[in-house]
Amino acid sequence: MKKGFVTAGILAIIACAVTAYCRASGRGNTPAGPVVSEQPVESVANASGGKSLVVYFSVPETDGTDASSGASRVRSDGKVMGNTQYVAALIREATGSDLFEIKTAHTYPGSHKALIDAAKVEIDGNARPQLATHIDNLKDYDVVFVGFPNWWYDMPMPLYTFFDEYDFGGKTVIPFCTHGGSRFSGAIKTIRELEPEATVLDGYAIARDRVPKSKDGVLKWLERIGMKK
Ligand SMILES: Cc1cc2nc3c(=O)[nH]c(=O)nc-3n(C[C@H](O)[C@H](O)[C@H](O)COP(=O)(O)O)c2cc1C
């Protein structure tokens, strides 16, 4: 009897570990559909009289061919882009925003397994990776889209460095993310805590295997929140 409980316990632990790996690596998940912001349209429409900026962080992996096979890469107009980078380009085009890429001083590995491990080391160490790019004219923007991939159920650590560096008080922050099934995890709550004086919308999350066909959904979302030009 006791042996039966021990065996069941071990099996449960193994099942949890496998599920955690699949979710963290973004593989083996049932992709989730986009999360549509419930934010009233007026709150962004009021702010959008001024300039807007699309900020993104994206690490295109080198060992896959397309997003549906599990890689974080999209081919568009002959260019190979990361998933979040592709969505950022769509938003920039549809809103007439400026574009800014968060780049780190160090380079992340291109292969999936090595990237998973490197990101885990950073998250476990609560790291603040040094950034190589900086926004000089943040004061010019009323609305800032901020896009990132979900890494280990969280924002990648460079996003923490990013939010440490700037004060978004008085601005509207519109998060967007790409993911393998976990959507934003707790990132919206985290951004609101890091930027308490900003208006942070509920944002838009896109499962990575839907990224290549996400344009219509992105445009509809932008229209709904009053940001499509
Ligand atoms: C280091 C790492 C950790 C990840 N962790 C998660 C996760 O916890 N949950 C999830 O849904 N997807 C996870 N993924 C999948 C990515 O969020 C997904 O592939 C994303 O679209 C990559 O975007 P990018 O091409 O812009 O970098 C992870 C991917 C990597 C590389």
Q: What is the 3-state secondary structure (H, E, C) of 161-190?
A: HHHHHCCCCCCEEEEEEEECCCCCCCHHHH
Residues 57 and 9 in one domain: no
Residues 140 and 164 in one domain: yes
Residues 25 and 53 in one domain: no
Find the 205 Cα to ligand 1 centroid distance in Å: 12
Find the 134 Cα to ligand 1 centroid distance in Å: 24
Residues 21 and 87 in one domain: no
Find the 4 Cα to ligand 1 centroid distance in Å: 37
Cβ–ligand 1 contact at 208 (below 6 Å):
yes
Question: Could you list the residue range(s) of the whole structural domain that residue 3 is in?
Answer: 1-30
Residues 36 and 7 in one domain: no
Answer whether 22's CB lies under 8 Å from 29's CB. Answer: yes
Residues 51 and 161 in one domain: yes
Answer whether 210's CB lies under 8 Å from 31's CB. Answer: yes
* pLDDT value for 43: 53
122 domain residue, yes or no: yes
Find the 150 Cα to ligand 1 centroid distance in Å: 5
Is the confidence at residue 95, as pLDDT, over 60?
Answer: yes
- Report the nearest-CA residue for atom 19 of ligand 1: 72
* pLDDT value for 8: 52
Q: Is the dihedral of CA 173, 49, 136, 110 positive or negative?
A: positive
Residues 53 and 15 in one domain: no
Cβ–ligand 1 contact at 183 (below 6 Å):
no
Average pLDDT of 24-44? Answer: 47
Residues 13 and 90 in one domain: no
- Tens of pLDDT, residue by residue over 35-59, are 555 555 445 644 546 899 999 999 9
Which atom of ligand 1 is closest in space to residue 87's alpha carbon? 26
Q: Give the CATH number, domain containing residue 65.
A: 3.40.50.360
50 domain residue, yes or no: yes
- Tens of pLDDT, residue by residue over 8-19, are 554 444 444 334
- Tens of pLDDT, residue by residue over 126-144, are 999 999 999 999 999 999 9
Mean pLDDT of the residues in the chain: 83
Q: Which residues of 197-223 are buried (b: 16+ CB within 10 A; e: fewer)?
A: ebbbbebbbbbbbbbbebeebbeebbe
- Tens of pLDDT, residue by residue over 204-217, are 999 999 999 999 99
